[in-house]
Amino acid sequence: MEIRPPVPADAESALALHDLVAPFLAITGGGLRRLAGARSGPGGTVLAAVEDGQVIGWLTTALISGSDPLDGQLRLMVHPDHRLRGVGTRLLEIAHERLKEAGAVSARVFAEPASVEWASRWGYRETRRVHYVSMAPADAPALPPVPDGMRLVPLNELDPRQLYDAEQIAQRTKPGDAKIVGQPYETWLKSIWNSPGIVLDLSMALLDGDRVAGFTLGNGDHEKIWTQMTATLPEYRGRGLAKLVKCAALHRPAEAGVVRMYTANYDGNAPMIAVNEWLGYQRTATHAVLICPL
């Protein structure tokens, strides 16, 4: 077995691994090829464990941008036929090394509940659970009425600064374990607006004049999309606007030919869980949120 940065030729077997272990993450072959060719920033790692030309393990790490104290996150998966052979242990050791070198004080991972005991050997503890859901966008309900004075637009029609201002507020007020205090505009522009997998043309914003009142952010392609964030600014909450913007973010991808949408919600996020149930999302998997001090 060899652990090394992936190359574009690994994309097919890496996609097969993701589809086997975590199909609800909506990983695409194009996204994996872009990862293989991308340069990682501080704390960023993409590694493949390869045996006989096949990807049997996969690791990504990153810093949680804007977190204070600085937190790290990782995704680690091993093919079921190759577990209990030390592949996961070696990848996790590398993940911790890279994140500590970048100054992270903790690492977090979403893991199958069956992995909680294994992860506890390294000091991981479960803080909550996250539920993955998916649906066909063509099955979305009719679009609710848009309030007077507001309008729906795809994100690619915005000035990025409009979304940045709204996203920074939303990050500070969203549920989660990491404390987000914000990040510089140029950092955000590179990591979010210009990130390789973002689908700005199929993500939506609700504008009140020129101000973003709510938005969605999606990653993927024109076949499947992972909605990584939906938010309504605090002063607009309680008016059904998250339902409106998420519904619009299903209609537009459906018209573009997207066949599947995916997202996730933390336990306790009752308002967004209710929105997703109204839209027609169905639960497909549950993971434990694990955090480990570094």
Banded pLDDT at 66 (limits 50, 70, 90)? confident
pLDDT at 176: 58
pLDDT in tens, 120-163: 999 999 999 999 999 999 999 999 999 999 999 999 999 999 99
Residue 115, number of CB atoms within 10 A of its CB: 18
- Residue 41 is assigned to a structural domain of this protein: yes
Instruction: Let me know whether 192 and 67 are in one domain.
Output: no
Highest mean pLDDT among 25-39, 57-71, 233-247: 233-247
pLDDT in tens, 269-279: 899 999 999 99
Instruction: Let me know whether 160 and 216 are in one domain.
Output: yes
Residue 238: both structure tokens together: 């309680």
Instruction: Let me know whether 155 and 69 are in one domain.
Output: no
71: β partners: 106
- Residue 291 is assigned to a structural domain of this protein: no
Banded pLDDT at 212 (limits 50, 70, 90)? very high
- Residue 158 is assigned to a structural domain of this protein: yes
Total count of domains within the chain: 2
Report the distance separating Cα 161 and Cα 167, nearest Å: 10
Of 87, 104, 121, which residue sits at a domain end?
A: 104
pLDDT in tens, 77-95: 999 999 999 999 999 999 9
Instruction: Let me know whether 10 and 52 are in one domain.
Output: yes
Sign, CA dihedral 7-200-229-62, equals positive
Instruction: Let me know whether 87 and 152 are in one domain.
Output: no
Task: CATH number of the domain at 254, please.
Answer: 3.40.630.30
- Residue 58 is assigned to a structural domain of this protein: yes
Of 104, 124, 149, which residue sits at a domain end?
A: 104
Banded pLDDT at 196 (limits 50, 70, 90)? confident
Interval 54-64 mean pLDDT = 94
Q: CB of 221 within 8 A of CB of 31?
A: yes
- Residue 115 is assigned to a structural domain of this protein: no
- Residue 187 is assigned to a structural domain of this protein: yes
Instruction: Let me know whether 32 and 170 are in one domain.
Output: no
With a cut of 80, say whether residue 174 has pLDDT above it: no
202 by Cβ neighbours in 10 Å (0-12 / 13-18 / 19+) ranks as buried
Model's pTM, two decimal places? 0.88
pLDDT at 179: 65
Instruction: Let me know whether 282 and 141 are in one domain.
Output: yes
211 by Cβ neighbours in 10 Å (0-12 / 13-18 / 19+) ranks as middle
With a cut of 90, say whether residue 33 has pLDDT above it: no
Banded pLDDT at 54 (limits 50, 70, 90)? very high
Instruction: Let me know whether 208 and 155 are in one domain.
Output: yes
Instruction: Let me know whether 61 and 158 are in one domain.
Output: no
Banded pLDDT at 38 (limits 50, 70, 90)? low
- Give the range of the structural domain holding residue 207, as residue numbers without chain letter: 135-286
- Residue 130 is assigned to a structural domain of this protein: no
Residue 8, number of CB atoms within 10 A of its CB: 13
Instruction: Let me know whether 144 and 189 are in one domain.
Output: yes
- Residue 91 is assigned to a structural domain of this protein: yes
Report the distance separating Cα 59 and Cα 52, nearest Å: 18
Backbone angles phi, psi at 202, to 5 degrees: -115, 5
Banded pLDDT at 28 (limits 50, 70, 90)? confident
Instruction: Let me know whether 141 and 90 are in one domain.
Output: no
